[in-house]
Amino acid sequence: QVQLHQWGAGLLKPSETLSLTCAVYGGSFTGYYWSWIRQPPGKGLEWIGEINHSGSTNSNPSLKSRVTTSVDTSKSQFSLRLTSLTAADTAIYFCARGRGGGEWWDYWGRGTLVTVSS
Amino acid sequence: SVLTQPPSVSAAPGQKVTISCSGSSSNIGNNYVSWYQQLPGTAPKLLIFENHKRPSGIPDRFSGSRSGTSATLGITGLQTGDEADYYCGTWDGSLSAGVFGTGTTVTV
């Protein structure tokens, strides 16, 4: 059974950098794209970006200048950094396993609530 | 969002609902659609992938279809446990980004 376990700081100040990591347990780490998706409180889902085991990435153009995704295949982990935070970045951040190219996401982490507040 | 869904749908237990997801040729018209169920306080769960396929463990009460630039999720034999938010998702080639629908709340 595939499980995604994510962690990172939950309370940040404006202009700070968000850093989240997701560890994958079970299943293969190769052959998939590993995504970050967020959901502001009470709102819908927003795709942030994805990375595969070889480091090939895609990012949402609306966030691209602030997003960095990385992968550590030796640990079956992938990470997200989002810089220059504002209150608008307050959201639940999910990591998820995907097919790539937005086809589907079949396993998800539980989500991390990140609040940006001074 | 570039994908439009009705805000809410409702029906009695045992009845059927359909949820539409309207897009364009840059997304639904040329890419696979997936559907997700999100129960309150939980992560989304994949219900349908590649327009109409169900992952293992998803009952056949859930069905998906795509026609042109729109997709539809159907739920038959509604149960109280189906009360949740439902989202469609796909790739948008013009944006070069994954995109989701606006979300639909199902009330039973």
Which one of A46, A102, A108 has the shortest CB-CB distance to B44? A108
Residue B104 scores a pLDDT above 90? yes
User: What's the whole-number mean pLDDT along residues B25-51?
Assistant: 97
Cα–Cα distance for residue pair B106/A83, rounded to 1 Å: 36
User: What's the whole-number mean pLDDT along residues A97-115?
Assistant: 94
Cα–Cα distance for residue pair A50/A37, rounded to 1 Å: 9
Residue A36 scores a pLDDT above 90? yes
pLDDT tens digits, one per residue of A45-68:
999 999 999 999 999 999 989 999
Given CB atoms, is B102 within the 8 Å cutoff of chain A? Answer: yes
Contact A110 B96 (CB under 8 A): no
Q: What are phi and psi of B29, to 5 degrees?
A: -60, -20
**Chain A residues lying within 8 Å of B95, measured CB to CB:** 60-61
Contact A102 B97 (CB under 8 A): yes
DSSP state of B24: -
Q: How many residue pairs from chains A and B have C-beta atoms closer than 8 A?
A: 74
pLDDT tens digits, one per residue of B1-12:
899 999 999 999
